[in-house]
Protein backbone atom coordinates (compact mmCIF):
# COMPACT_ATOMS: atom_id res chain seq x y z
CA UNK A 1 0.00 0.00 0.00
CA UNK A 2 1.28 3.49 -0.88
CA UNK A 3 0.32 6.76 0.76
CA UNK A 4 0.36 10.31 -0.61
CA UNK A 5 3.48 12.23 0.28
CA UNK A 6 2.90 14.25 3.42
CA UNK A 7 3.62 17.96 3.46
CA UNK A 8 6.56 19.08 5.58
CA UNK A 9 6.34 22.25 7.63
CA UNK A 10 8.25 24.22 10.23
CA UNK A 11 7.00 26.19 13.23
CA UNK A 12 9.06 29.16 14.33
CA UNK A 13 9.02 32.61 15.93
CA UNK A 14 10.16 35.88 14.36
CA UNK A 15 10.72 39.03 16.43
CA UNK A 16 8.85 42.03 15.01
CA UNK A 17 8.97 45.34 16.92
CA UNK A 18 8.91 43.70 20.33
CA UNK A 19 6.34 41.07 19.36
CA UNK A 20 7.44 37.44 19.09
CA UNK A 21 5.38 36.35 16.10
CA UNK A 22 4.73 32.62 15.76
CA UNK A 23 4.27 31.25 12.26
CA UNK A 24 3.88 28.01 10.33
CA UNK A 25 5.55 27.51 6.97
CA UNK A 26 5.25 24.63 4.54
CA UNK A 27 8.36 23.36 2.78
CA UNK A 28 7.40 22.60 -0.83
CA UNK A 29 9.40 20.48 -3.20
CA UNK A 30 10.24 23.46 -5.46
CA UNK A 31 12.20 26.44 -4.18
CA UNK A 32 10.30 28.72 -6.56
CA UNK A 33 6.86 27.43 -5.52
CA UNK A 34 4.01 29.98 -5.48
CA UNK A 35 3.58 31.71 -2.12
CA UNK A 36 0.28 31.95 -0.22
CA UNK A 37 0.13 34.14 2.90
CA UNK A 38 -2.63 32.83 5.17
CA UNK A 39 -4.28 35.42 7.41
CA UNK A 40 -6.50 33.81 10.03
CA UNK A 41 -9.72 34.91 11.67
CA UNK A 42 -11.34 35.23 15.08
CA UNK A 43 -11.06 33.57 17.54
CA UNK A 44 -8.58 31.28 15.87
CA UNK A 45 -4.94 31.34 14.75
CA UNK A 46 -2.58 29.77 12.28
CA UNK A 47 -3.61 26.31 13.49
CA UNK A 48 -6.86 26.66 11.54
CA UNK A 49 -4.79 26.19 8.36
CA UNK A 50 -3.08 22.96 9.38
CA UNK A 51 -5.18 20.73 7.13
CA UNK A 52 -4.88 23.12 4.19
CA UNK A 53 -1.10 23.15 4.63
CA UNK A 54 -1.08 19.35 4.69
CA UNK A 55 -3.13 19.29 1.49
CA UNK A 56 -1.17 21.89 -0.51
CA UNK A 57 2.18 22.27 1.22
CA UNK A 58 4.17 19.97 -1.04
CA UNK A 59 3.35 22.12 -4.10
CA UNK A 60 3.09 25.62 -2.62
CA UNK A 61 4.81 27.69 0.04
CA UNK A 62 2.14 28.43 2.62
CA UNK A 63 2.98 30.86 5.43
CA UNK A 64 0.59 31.41 8.34
CA UNK A 65 1.45 33.84 11.16
CA UNK A 66 -0.46 34.36 14.41
CA UNK A 67 -1.46 37.96 15.18
CA UNK A 68 -0.69 39.52 18.54
CA UNK A 69 -3.34 38.28 20.98
CA UNK A 70 -3.79 34.99 19.09
CA UNK A 71 -2.27 31.55 18.99
CA UNK A 72 1.36 31.21 20.04
CA UNK A 73 2.40 34.81 19.32
CA UNK A 74 3.72 36.63 22.38
CA UNK A 75 3.05 40.36 22.70
CA UNK A 76 4.23 42.70 25.47
CA UNK A 77 1.80 43.55 28.24
CA UNK A 78 1.46 47.15 27.03
CA UNK A 79 0.61 46.20 23.42
CA UNK A 80 -2.32 48.25 22.08
CA UNK A 81 -4.84 45.98 20.40
CA UNK A 82 -6.37 47.57 17.33
CA UNK A 83 -6.66 46.47 13.73
CA UNK A 84 -4.11 49.07 12.69
CA UNK A 85 -1.62 47.55 15.13
CA UNK A 86 -2.34 43.99 13.97
CA UNK A 87 -1.64 45.19 10.45
CA UNK A 88 1.56 46.95 11.59
CA UNK A 89 2.92 43.74 13.07
CA UNK A 90 1.85 41.64 10.09
CA UNK A 91 3.46 44.16 7.74
CA UNK A 92 6.66 43.96 9.76
CA UNK A 93 6.49 40.18 9.68
CA UNK A 94 6.23 40.15 5.88
CA UNK A 95 9.16 42.55 5.59
CA UNK A 96 11.34 40.65 8.06
CA UNK A 97 10.45 37.40 6.33
CA UNK A 98 11.55 38.83 3.00
CA UNK A 99 8.37 38.25 1.02
CA UNK A 100 8.02 40.40 -2.09
CA UNK A 101 5.07 39.02 -4.03
CA UNK A 102 2.38 36.58 -2.94
CA UNK A 103 -1.26 35.59 -3.07
CA UNK A 104 -3.03 36.60 0.12
CA UNK A 105 -5.73 34.46 1.77
CA UNK A 106 -8.04 36.60 3.90
CA UNK A 107 -10.53 35.06 6.29
CA UNK A 108 -12.63 36.98 8.84
CA UNK A 109 -10.17 39.21 10.77
CA UNK A 110 -7.72 38.44 7.98
CA UNK A 111 -9.68 40.75 5.67
CA UNK A 112 -9.21 43.96 7.71
CA UNK A 113 -5.58 43.03 8.38
CA UNK A 114 -4.93 42.01 4.78
CA UNK A 115 -6.63 44.95 3.12
CA UNK A 116 -4.60 47.32 5.26
CA UNK A 117 -1.48 45.57 3.93
CA UNK A 118 -2.81 45.81 0.39
CA UNK A 119 -3.39 49.56 0.74
CA UNK A 120 0.15 50.07 2.03
CA UNK A 121 1.86 47.68 -0.40
CA UNK A 122 -0.16 46.98 -3.54
CA UNK A 123 3.02 45.68 -5.16
CA UNK A 124 2.97 42.71 -2.79
CA UNK A 125 -0.40 41.36 -3.87
CA UNK A 126 -0.38 38.89 -6.77
CA UNK A 127 -3.94 37.78 -6.05
CA UNK A 128 -6.55 37.23 -3.36
CA UNK A 129 -8.30 34.21 -1.92
CA UNK A 130 -11.29 35.51 0.04
CA UNK A 131 -13.03 33.14 2.45
CA UNK A 132 -15.74 34.79 4.55
CA UNK A 133 -13.60 37.90 4.72
CA UNK A 134 -15.97 40.84 4.48
CA UNK A 135 -15.38 44.24 2.88
CA UNK A 136 -18.96 45.34 2.14
CA UNK A 137 -21.86 46.51 4.25
CA UNK A 138 -24.04 44.11 2.28
CA UNK A 139 -22.07 41.33 3.94
CA UNK A 140 -23.00 42.28 7.49
CA UNK A 141 -25.82 40.36 9.15
CA UNK A 142 -28.10 42.13 11.63
CA UNK A 143 -26.24 40.36 14.43
CA UNK A 144 -22.89 41.58 13.09
CA UNK A 145 -24.20 45.16 12.88
CA UNK A 146 -25.39 45.02 16.48
CA UNK A 147 -22.02 43.67 17.58
CA UNK A 148 -20.06 46.32 15.66
CA UNK A 149 -22.19 49.04 17.26
CA UNK A 150 -20.94 48.12 20.74
CA UNK A 151 -18.75 50.78 22.35
CA UNK A 152 -16.86 51.02 25.64
CA UNK A 153 -18.98 52.46 28.43
CA UNK A 154 -22.31 51.43 26.94
CA UNK A 155 -24.42 49.30 29.27
CA UNK A 156 -23.55 45.61 29.01
CA UNK A 157 -21.27 46.19 25.99
CA UNK A 158 -18.24 44.41 27.44
CA UNK A 159 -20.39 41.64 28.89
CA UNK A 160 -21.87 41.05 25.42
CA UNK A 161 -18.40 40.72 23.90
CA UNK A 162 -17.19 38.43 26.65
CA UNK A 163 -20.21 36.20 26.11
CA UNK A 164 -18.81 35.36 22.68
CA UNK A 165 -15.48 34.35 24.25
CA UNK A 166 -16.86 31.40 26.20
CA UNK A 167 -16.60 27.76 25.12
CA UNK A 168 -20.28 27.82 24.19
CA UNK A 169 -19.78 30.96 22.13
CA UNK A 170 -16.68 29.61 20.39
CA UNK A 171 -18.33 26.31 19.56
CA UNK A 172 -21.37 28.12 18.25
CA UNK A 173 -19.25 30.05 15.77
CA UNK A 174 -18.06 26.76 14.29
CA UNK A 175 -21.39 24.94 14.23
CA UNK A 176 -23.91 27.61 13.25
CA UNK A 177 -24.94 27.17 9.63
CA UNK A 178 -23.35 23.72 9.29
CA UNK A 179 -25.65 20.97 8.03
CA UNK A 180 -24.00 18.27 10.13
CA UNK A 181 -21.97 19.58 13.11
CA UNK A 182 -20.49 16.08 13.53
CA UNK A 183 -18.27 16.85 10.51
CA UNK A 184 -16.36 19.46 12.56
CA UNK A 185 -13.54 18.11 14.72
CA UNK A 186 -14.11 19.26 18.32
CA UNK A 187 -10.44 20.12 18.83
CA UNK A 188 -11.01 23.08 16.49
CA UNK A 189 -13.05 25.06 18.98
CA UNK A 190 -11.41 23.63 22.09
CA UNK A 191 -7.97 24.73 20.84
CA UNK A 192 -9.33 28.20 20.11
CA UNK A 193 -10.80 28.30 23.61
CA UNK A 194 -7.46 27.28 25.11
CA UNK A 195 -5.85 30.36 23.60
CA UNK A 196 -8.78 32.61 24.53
CA UNK A 197 -8.43 31.52 28.16
CA UNK A 198 -4.74 32.51 28.39
CA UNK A 199 -3.98 35.56 30.56
CA UNK A 200 -4.80 38.83 28.83
CA UNK A 201 -6.36 37.29 25.74
CA UNK A 202 -9.99 38.13 26.52
CA UNK A 203 -9.00 41.74 27.20
CA UNK A 204 -7.29 41.81 23.81
CA UNK A 205 -10.42 40.50 22.11
CA UNK A 206 -12.63 43.04 23.86
CA UNK A 207 -10.38 45.84 22.60
CA UNK A 208 -10.51 44.48 19.04
CA UNK A 209 -14.28 44.09 19.20
CA UNK A 210 -14.64 47.73 20.17
CA UNK A 211 -12.33 48.70 17.29
CA UNK A 212 -14.15 46.68 14.63
CA UNK A 213 -16.13 49.74 13.51
CA UNK A 214 -12.86 51.11 12.09
CA UNK A 215 -12.96 48.35 9.49
CA UNK A 216 -16.47 49.19 8.29
CA UNK A 217 -15.41 52.82 7.98
CA UNK A 218 -12.64 51.72 5.60
CA UNK A 219 -14.82 49.56 3.37
CA UNK A 220 -15.13 52.30 0.67
CA UNK A 221 -11.33 52.67 0.52
CA UNK A 222 -10.84 48.91 0.19
CA UNK A 223 -13.45 48.72 -2.52
CA UNK A 224 -11.69 51.56 -4.36
CA UNK A 225 -8.42 49.63 -4.03
CA UNK A 226 -10.04 46.55 -5.57
CA UNK A 227 -11.34 48.60 -8.49
CA UNK A 228 -7.98 50.26 -9.04
CA UNK A 229 -5.75 47.19 -8.88
CA UNK A 230 -8.23 44.44 -9.91
CA UNK A 231 -6.24 41.58 -8.39
CA UNK A 232 -7.10 38.06 -9.61
CA UNK A 233 -9.50 36.81 -6.96
CA UNK A 234 -10.95 33.50 -5.84
CA UNK A 235 -13.91 33.70 -3.44
CA UNK A 236 -14.80 30.58 -1.44
CA UNK A 237 -17.56 31.37 1.05
CA UNK A 238 -19.65 29.58 3.62
CA UNK A 239 -23.09 30.81 2.59
CA UNK A 240 -24.72 30.20 6.00
CA UNK A 241 -22.27 32.35 7.97
CA UNK A 242 -24.25 34.04 10.78
CA UNK A 243 -21.91 37.06 10.74
CA UNK A 244 -20.98 37.49 7.07
CA UNK A 245 -23.75 35.98 4.91
CA UNK A 246 -23.61 35.23 1.21
CA UNK A 247 -24.40 38.78 -0.03
CA UNK A 248 -20.94 39.75 1.23
CA UNK A 249 -19.39 37.29 -1.20
CA UNK A 250 -21.48 38.43 -4.15
CA UNK A 251 -20.73 42.09 -3.37
CA UNK A 252 -17.12 41.63 -4.50
CA UNK A 253 -18.32 41.04 -8.04
CA UNK A 254 -19.38 44.68 -8.36
CA UNK A 255 -15.73 45.72 -8.09
CA UNK A 256 -14.14 42.50 -9.38
CA UNK A 257 -16.47 41.21 -12.11
CA UNK A 258 -13.92 38.61 -13.21
CA UNK A 259 -13.56 37.09 -9.73
CA UNK A 260 -14.27 33.37 -9.36
CA UNK A 261 -17.07 32.81 -6.81
CA UNK A 262 -17.97 29.57 -5.04
CA UNK A 263 -20.63 29.41 -2.32
CA UNK A 264 -20.75 26.39 -0.03
CA UNK A 265 -23.59 25.08 2.12
CA UNK A 266 -21.79 25.63 5.40
CA UNK A 267 -21.05 28.21 8.07
CA UNK A 268 -18.25 30.62 8.96
CA UNK A 269 -15.36 28.13 9.06
CA UNK A 270 -15.79 26.71 5.57
CA UNK A 271 -12.42 24.91 5.55
CA UNK A 272 -13.59 22.75 8.45
CA UNK A 273 -16.31 21.11 6.39
CA UNK A 274 -15.34 21.68 2.74
CA UNK A 275 -11.56 21.37 2.55
CA UNK A 276 -11.75 18.62 -0.15
CA UNK A 277 -13.69 21.02 -2.39
CA UNK A 278 -11.82 24.23 -1.53
CA UNK A 279 -8.21 23.01 -1.62
CA UNK A 280 -8.27 22.08 -5.34
CA UNK A 281 -9.82 25.46 -6.16
CA UNK A 282 -6.95 27.21 -4.37
CA UNK A 283 -4.37 25.01 -6.08
CA UNK A 284 -5.77 25.77 -9.51
CA UNK A 285 -5.94 29.47 -8.70
CA UNK A 286 -2.31 29.58 -7.53
CA UNK A 287 -1.19 27.79 -10.67
CA UNK A 288 -2.99 30.31 -12.88
CA UNK A 289 -1.89 33.42 -11.01
CA UNK A 290 1.75 32.63 -10.36
CA UNK A 291 2.80 30.49 -13.31
Q: Which residue ranges make up each domain of the chain?
A: 9-289
Mean pLDDT of 226-234: 98
Domain made up of 9-289: CATH architecture:
3-Layer(aba) Sandwich (3.40)
pLDDT band for position 154 (cuts 50, 70, 90): confident
Q: Are 101 and 123 in contact (CB under 8 A)?
A: yes
C-alpha 132/C-alpha 223 separation (Å) is 16
Segment (H or E) for 79? none
**Residue 31: cis peptide before it, omega within 30 degrees of 0:** no
Q: Is the dihedral of CA 275, 249, 281, 24 positive or negative?
A: negative
Active site residue 268: yes
Q: Is residue 218 pLDDT above 80, yes or no?
A: yes
CA-nearest of 196, 214, 204 to 68 is 204
Q: Is the pTM of this model over 0.85?
A: yes
Mean pLDDT of 73-91: 98
157 CB neighbour count, 10 Å cutoff: 17
pLDDT band for position 189 (cuts 50, 70, 90): very high
- Sequence-separated contacts (24+) of 179-184 with Cβ below 8 Å: 179/265, 179/266, 183/272, 183/273, 184/269, 184/272, 184/273
What length is written for the chain? 291
Q: Is residue 168 pLDDT above 80, yes or no?
A: yes
Given the residues 40, 47, 268, 274, select the one marked as catalytic.
268
Amino acid sequence: MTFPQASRSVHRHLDVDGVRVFYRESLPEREDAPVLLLLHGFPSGSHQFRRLMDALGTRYRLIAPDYPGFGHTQAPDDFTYSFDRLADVTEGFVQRFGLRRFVMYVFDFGAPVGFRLAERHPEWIAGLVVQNGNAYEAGLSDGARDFIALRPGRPDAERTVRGLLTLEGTRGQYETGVADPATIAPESWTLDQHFLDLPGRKEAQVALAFDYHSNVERYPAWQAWLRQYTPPTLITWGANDPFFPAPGARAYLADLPDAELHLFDTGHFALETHLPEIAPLIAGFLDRVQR
